[in-house]
Amino acid sequence: MTHFYAMQLHPFCQQKEIVKYCKANNIVVQAYCPLICGRMDDPIIQEVATKVRSDHVVNLDILLTVHWAKVRP
């Protein structure tokens, strides 16, 4: 049986200890609110989005936070 734990998880709320516990106990973490509660105007998010922005990607800031949630340690 697979167990899931849903929690707020995004670059500004990383919950590292809980994620570590879940991984150690084979609990799948489901990110609640991975788009950082509307904080897309944060200077760090905007700086990274500006550095890698292309004409083909419209909302790169949103894609960056989703990517972070996917590849977080």
| Structure confidence by residue, pLDDT tens digits, 52-68 | 666 555 566 677 777 77
Residue 32: per-residue pLDDT: 75
How does pLDDT run across 2-44, given as a tens digit for each residue? 899 998 888 788 889 999 999 999 999 887 776 666 676 778 7
The domain in which residue 38 lies consists of 3-71
49 and 64 in contact (C-beta within 8 Å)?
Answer: yes
CB atoms within 10 A of CB 50: 10
Q: Note the pLDDT of residue 22.
A: 94
- 45, pLDDT greater than 80: no
Domain tally, the chain: 1
| The 3-state secondary structure of 12-56, one letter per residue | CECCHHHHHHHHHCCEEEEEECCCHHHCCCCHHHHHHHHHHCCCC
